[in-house]
Chain A
């Protein structure tokens, strides 16, 4: 098969780009253990407030400066309403919803999950910068969607 010389040039560039993009994805997934937030952790959405650990949402220390953060996104707010996280803490977020699909985004960070009724979504983040972090719902969830926000204070 005859391929034009210039065609070979852009084919090589395209294949190299594909290898780089997929390589970064593969290294993240298989070598660094990055996974999508949803992964088979289920919960009865009608019994969220009675089910451990969401019967007592908030921070739970599990190690020296390492915490689990259990949060509920509901129409139209977040529980707990305010949370203080120590500077430098590694926080494993676990988020669910008792009603409809919500978003859980901590602005300025890579924490951006969906809160899905029946699912508990996980994400780990280390807070290296002090300050007030705005938490927003970024999935339209109903008439009060725009009021659905909270703050996380890192100090």
Chain B
């Protein structure tokens, strides 16, 4: 019983979440930079 409780409180691995957040963040940053550079160069 007490052992189950300890298991539940253990942290989940968030590596996959971090990867997907970084991929999405990278996409947003790259597209933002692309539009910004287009604006600056015109």
Which residues of A are at the interface with B, using a C-beta cutoff of 8 A? 4, 6-7, 9-10, 13-14, 17, 21, 24, 108-110
Contact = CB atoms under 8 A, between A and B. Distances in A.
Given A7-B14, A24-B36, A110-B39, A17 B29 contact: yes
Contacts of A109: 42
Contacts of B11: 4
B contact residues, range: 10 to 19
Interface of B: 11, 14-15, 17-18, 21-22, 25, 28-29, 32, 36, 39, 42
A23 to B, nearest CB: 12
In terms of DSSP, what is the predominant structure of the interface of chain A? helix
A10 B29 contact: no
In terms of DSSP, what is the predominant structure of the interface of chain B? helix
Contacts of B39: 110
Given A13-B25, A109-B42, A110-B39, A21 B14 contact: no
Contacts of A108: 42
A6 B17 contact: yes
A10 B18 contact: yes
B18 A9 contact: yes
B24 to A, nearest CB: 10
A95 B18 CA distance: 48
